[in-house]
Structure 1
Amino acid sequence: MDLTDATWTDVRDLETDLAVVPVGSTEQHGPHAPLGTDVLTAEAVADAGLERVDREVVRAPAIPVGIAEEHRQFPGTMWVTPETFRDYVREAVESLTHHGFDRIVIVNGHGGNVDALREVGATVTRTGDAFAVPFTWFEAVGDHSADMGHGGPLETALLRHCEPGLVREDRIDEASTGGAERWGEWVSYANLAYDSAEFTDNGVVGDPGAGDETRGEELLELAADSLARLLEAVAERDVSRPDRR
């Protein structure tokens, strides 16, 4: 059930304790992909994953702004501090647990959110009566994960499959030629760059031309299957905390 479309009485009558919260970012993704890429892909994977489970699951509205100050030189990018993000996501999750949805999977579409979401899951699980775990879709697509960049082949492919009208196809060549091959500027295993504009002229990392619609379809299948397995595991898990040793 999508909370956006439901009434409060619809929610009251549900018999489930499992919920999904999509989380993304509003940030630059090169000249060819929309600022909402991370939200759109998180929602697409969440919805496809829910279609694969034979149980009722609440689908919360997506959280559209994340930790993205590293893209601040590119107009349109929005961000909040890690502290604000953690508090906001945690409180949003806890509002669901208040209504009895105490098993939460956070479906993430933005790399900058990963560490903070793991902290949120730990805090919710250790300090309350709920269990929360983050799932980042591009970490769950097998060998494709090695090609994850930024506005690169994976995100472009998934957009071409799910939201083809939002990809500026006439800018793909520009996106490819002005992008970087890898994320960051590395010396002695240390990343010297804090902002993406230090190593990519147009915000792209990777070759978006290598992400066609067929690949996007495969990515969605892999990510959705992974999410469905996780949802089943969370639904069946003993979420009580271990005793002190």
Structure 2
Amino acid sequence: MTLRQHELGGLAWPDVRERPMVIVPIGSTEQHGPHLPLNTDTVVATAVSEAVATRIGDHVLVAPPVSYGSSGEHQSFAGTASIGSAALTFLVIELVRSLSTWAGRIIFINAHGGNVAGLSKAVRQLVAEQHDIAWLPCVAEGSDLHAGRMETSLILHLKPDTVRLERSTAGHIGPLPDILPQLKAGGVSAVSPSGVLGDPTGASAAEGLRLLGQMADDARRRISDGVTDRNGMLTLNSALATPQTHSPQAPGDWA
């Protein structure tokens, strides 16, 4: 099955197989520093979803991405377009109720940490409604938080013409728990005037290709072998319940 045949949006309705697995990429439209495009999370989530579909086989479809998420922590930066956590929860619930009338298992692949609270709340309700639904994050080794080396490498691989590498600059460098209170109180601008949480130095397209492969392999394993935690996230074991990812997957609830 070709990549195009995996894309739900390009099919006519008679071409949809009976009860396919549907993967829904979920990202955001938000600032990613002065050097990366606003749709970075959506690009990454879509690429991981497409790579996973290719790995799993011809019974998988990739839905058009959810390109707006809960990004209030970035709202002080121009270009950010957030729908908030409550709206995201409602969107996911209604989308799954619709998809479930013809689809089989539904998996959301999430690339933005601010979506976690709304996505988890939606999936918990949908599981209670007996929908076959789960979500998973985009995970790779050696990650930083936001618009740093990992995301820069991924976009250099996936959409190199959108990277303004000459503008790249290091932002706050350190673990998320150290800055989470400030983030919740004042958003990303309170800890990083550039919007970067990490350091893009050393990013490369080759590293982006490697990271994308790690993310796709991890997602495939979670789908085939994982179990869902109490928030509906697919995990391989309890040690992965709070994974390191390319963007903060903290259970924030920013508007």
Task: Output the TM-score relative to the length of structure 1.
Answer: 0.83
Aligned positions of 1:135-174 closer than 5 A? 135-137=136-138, 140-141=139-140, 143-144=141-142, 147-172=143-168
Q: Measure the CA separation in 2 of the matches of 1:83 and 1:196.
A: 20
| Superposed displacement of residue 185, structure 1 | 8.2
| Superposed displacement of residue 76, structure 1 | 0.6
| Superposed displacement of residue 228, structure 1 | 1.8
| Counterpart selection for 1:106 from 90, 108, 111 | 108
Percentage identity across paired residues of the two chains: 32
Paired position in structure 2 for 1:66: 69
Aligned positions of 1:39-188 closer than 5 A? 39-99=42-102, 101-128=103-130, 130-137=131-138, 140-141=139-140, 143-144=141-142, 147-172=143-168, 175-176=169-170, 179-182=171-174, 186=178
Paired position in structure 2 for 1:208: 200
Structure with higher Rg: it is: 1
Deviations 1:13-43 (A, max 9, x none): x034311000000000000000000000000
Q: Measure the CA separation in 2 of the matches of 1:105 and 1:230.
A: 10
Q: Secondary structure at the match of 1:211?
A: coil
Q: Measure the CA separation in 2 of the matches of 1:81 and 1:115.
A: 10
Aligned length: 219
What's the C-alpha RMSD, in Å, of the aligned pairs?
1.8
Amino acid at match of 1:70: E
Unaligned runs of 5+ in 1: 235-245
Given that 2:53 and 2:61 are in contact with CA atoms closer than 8 Å, whether structure 1 keeps it comes out as no
> Is the deviation greater in 39-48 or in 207-216?
207-216
Aligned positions of 1:190-201 closer than 5 A? 191-194=181-184, 195-201=187-193
Amino acid at match of 2:91: Y
- Stretches of 4+ moved more than 3 A in 1? 182-187
Given that 1:20 and 1:107 are in contact with CA atoms closer than 8 Å, whether structure 2 keeps it comes out as yes
| Superposed displacement of residue 63, structure 1 | 0.5
Correspondence 1:223 to 2:215: yes
Q: Measure the CA separation in 2 of the matches of 1:171 and 1:89.
A: 35
Q: Measure the CA separation in 2 of the matches of 1:209 and 1:222.
A: 21
Correspondence 1:23 to 2:26: yes
